[in-house]
Amino acid sequence: MDIEELAGKLAAGDRRALARAITLVESRRPDHRETATALLQRLAQQGRQALRLGLSGTPGVGKSTFIESFGMMLTGQGLRVAVLAVDPSSARSGGSILGDKTRMERLSRDPGAFIRPSPSQSQLGGVARRTREAVALCEAAGFDVVLIETVGVGQSETMVAQLSDLFLLLLAPAGGDELQGVKRGIMEMADLILVNKADGDLKPAAMRTCADYAGALRLLRRRPQDPEGFPKAMCVSALEEAGLEAAWNEMRALADWRREAGVFAAVRAQQARFWFAEEVRQGLLAALETGAAKLRMEALAGQVAEGRMTPALAAREMLALLGAEAGQGALPPSG
């Protein structure tokens, strides 16, 4: 694949080129990785930026309906919207790709929208790293908003927060006055809590839930860089398409505020550092699985299994071979 040609098509907003480029960054083949790295470096020079919105919500809160209604509202304003997913648990198949598109049928047919399911790696870190590169590709292709959705499982929210400019938490109305099992730490990450299903019979419950969360958010320490009133809880109805513009206005206001305060760029820089370190860590570990290192690992593991060496002693030998003894860097002194 020719990088110049692909970059050109991407810059022109060609959706098939975008899909091909994402497939390229998701590939594990070393030559593909090399091409992907070169492509990303080339595109980074363009400096196009989208607003990156992270969205978390457990199954049942109406996430697909929300993304569809919210996305249609944005494309109705002439904005181009990409939807990506971070879902390490999804057993990816032709069926589930279809699934992602059928559960957002209208949006998937919208020429202003692009929907891409989660990459198929089983490790959360791998999924998130490749999604980060897909975000960069969507930006290069001129998308204005990139929505990165995740289901509220394990550490995936933390990863998505590291990919996002703003982090949205979608909730359903709660039955009573309890805060519905939102995991500790997730509420702290949210810039905007959206209580969905504020329609029909559920409207009163939604408003109560929203008030509960608004109260809880006031107890959290406001981020020093943010204006009064954030993080904020709001009611929306994805079904009746109500409250979506108001929510969008809040998102834009918060993003603008952060841009002016210089926080927006600073957070992106910190995130880039994070993903660099993550990529190095994972690359280093992957090197244990190939070539001479793999053979040596297997030989030492055999000695450990037979009880001839303790795990600690065998690890010490392996690390010495790798030039990574305790207290030394992994680089040779001349490095």
Which residues are at the interface with a second copy (CB under 8 A)?
A: 30, 33-34, 36-37, 40-41, 44, 132-133, 136, 269-270, 272-273, 275-281, 283-288, 290-297, 300-301, 304-307, 309-316, 318-319, 321-333, 335
Question: In the bound complex, what is the minimum distance in angstroms from residue 22's beta carbon to a second copy?
Answer: 14
CB of 90 to a second copy, least distance (A): 16
CB-nearer residue toward a second copy: 12 or 277: 277
Residue that the structure tokens 């969008």 belong to: 248
Report the nearest approach of a second copy to the CB of residue 140 (Å): 12
Q: Which C-beta is closer to a second copy: that of 239 or that of 301?
A: 301
CB 49, min distance to a second copy, A: 11
| CA-CA-CA-CA dihedral for 139, 140, 144, 146, to nearest 10 | -30
Q: Give the nearest distance from C-beta 301 to a second copy in angstroms.
A: 5
Residue whose C-alpha is closest to residue 188's, from 153, 224, 212, 222: 222
Angle CA 226–228–230, to nearest 5? 60
Closest to a second copy by CB, 105 vs 317, is 317
Q: In what order do the strands lie in the sheet with 81-86?
A: 113-115, 81-86, 145-150, 51-56, 166-171, 192-195, 232-235
Minimum distance between the CB of residue 54 and a second copy, rounded to whole angstroms?
A: 18
The 8 Å CB, 24+ separation contacts for 187-190 are 187/213, 187/216, 187/217, 187/220, 188/220, 189/157, 189/158, 189/161, 190/231
- Amino acid at position 173, single letter: P
Q: Which is nearer to a second copy, 72 or 124 (CB)?
A: 124
CA dihedral angle for residue 274, residue 280, residue 23, residue 61, rounded to 10 degrees: -40
Of 44, 46, 49, nearest to 255 by C-alpha is 49
Instruction: Report the alpha-carbon distance of residue 287 to residue 293 in Å, rounded.
Output: 7
Q: Using the minimum distance from each CB to a second copy, give the nearer residue, 252 or 308.
A: 308
Q: What does the radius of gyration of the chain's CA atoms come to, in whole angstroms?
A: 23
- Least Å from the CB of residue 318 to a second copy: 5
Q: Which is nearer to a second copy, 3 or 202 (CB)?
A: 3
Nearer to a second copy, 246 or 277 (CB): 277
Residue nearer to a second copy on the CB measure, 91 or 292: 292
Measured in whole angstroms, the distance separating CA 16 from the mean position of its chain's CA atoms is 22
| In the complex, minimum distance from the CB of residue 253 to a second copy, in angstroms, rounded to a whole number | 25
